[in-house]
Amino acid sequence: ANVRFQGIVTYTVVFSNTGTADPAVVLTDTLPSGTNFAYWVDQSGATYADNIVRWSGVLTGGSVISVTFAVTNTASGGATITNTAYLSGSAGAVSSVATFGATADSYPTGSGLWSQVFAPCPTRCKRVIPAGATITLDQDIDLDGDFEIEPGGTFNANGKTVTLTGDQAQTLTGNPLTFYSLVVNKTNRTDTVTIVGKLKVTRKLTVRSGKLISASDYEDIEI
């Protein structure tokens, strides 16, 4: 299953020696982009510094070492995250790869301008502004997927226009959902945009094609 934004992923690296003692075994695991080190589960003498998990030492004959640690997923938009661990010793070097998929929803890398903190995402992907993030529109945008402002998140329309497009139903979630200029321009007149929360449009709301539906019989729409 895809890992949610800020979700925890646990990695376990197991290595063993079935021969004689090896005096110079080194394990290195450089954490991939889209992850942040969270905590140790089973440190087993390993260290973490400069984005690298490392274990080094003597691996005696018959011994088994298990290193387990957790990372926080900071990727979104359906990205695939690949982590590669490398083990070297007197007998040579080997590597092991593990992958996970990030949530298909698109989250910003932090607070800032929309064009800088939101990466491109697939058609109809959901854009989410999480708690603690402040996102400012720096250009007019088209959205063909859902849009959500989580409690504690902030969206600054900054005098820009948001146009809702595509032929799929969309849901806008937030309290409040404040836009400067909002245009509903769906492919078909029967395509729906549902408001969950409170919609505020400070300049102009335009419905060219499609239906705007309130989850509370239009009581939550302010123009």
Region 113-125: mean pLDDT is: 91
Residue 87 has pLDDT above 70, yes or no: yes
Q: What does the pLDDT average to over 168-179? A: 95
Contacts of 169 (CB under 8 A, 6+ apart): 191, 192, 193, 194
Q: pLDDT value at position 136?
A: 98
**pLDDT (mean) for 183-192:** 96
pLDDT at 220 over 80: no
The values of phi and psi at residue 114, to 5°, are -50, -50
| Six-digit token string for 219 | 């009581």
Higher per-residue pLDDT: 48 or 22: 48
Q: For residues 46 and 40, what is the distance between their CA atoms, to the nearest angstrom? A: 9
Residues 133-159, mean pLDDT to the nearest whole number: 97
Average pLDDT over all residues of the chain: 93
| Contact status, residue 150 vs residue 175, Cβ threshold 8 Å | no
What's the rounded Cα separation, in Å, for the pair 161 and 165?
A: 13
Q: What is the reported pLDDT for 119?
A: 87
- Which of 166, 163, 213, 215 is closest to 186 using CA atoms? 166
Say yes or no to pLDDT of 48 above 90: yes
8-101 fold: Immunoglobulin-like (2.60.40)
Asked if residues 74 and 35 have their Cβ atoms less than 8 Å apart, the reply is yes
Mean pLDDT computed over 41-45 = 97
Strand ranges (DSSP E) for 102-146? 112-113, 127-129, 134-136, 141-143
DSSP code of residue 135: E
Beta bridge partners of 93: 88
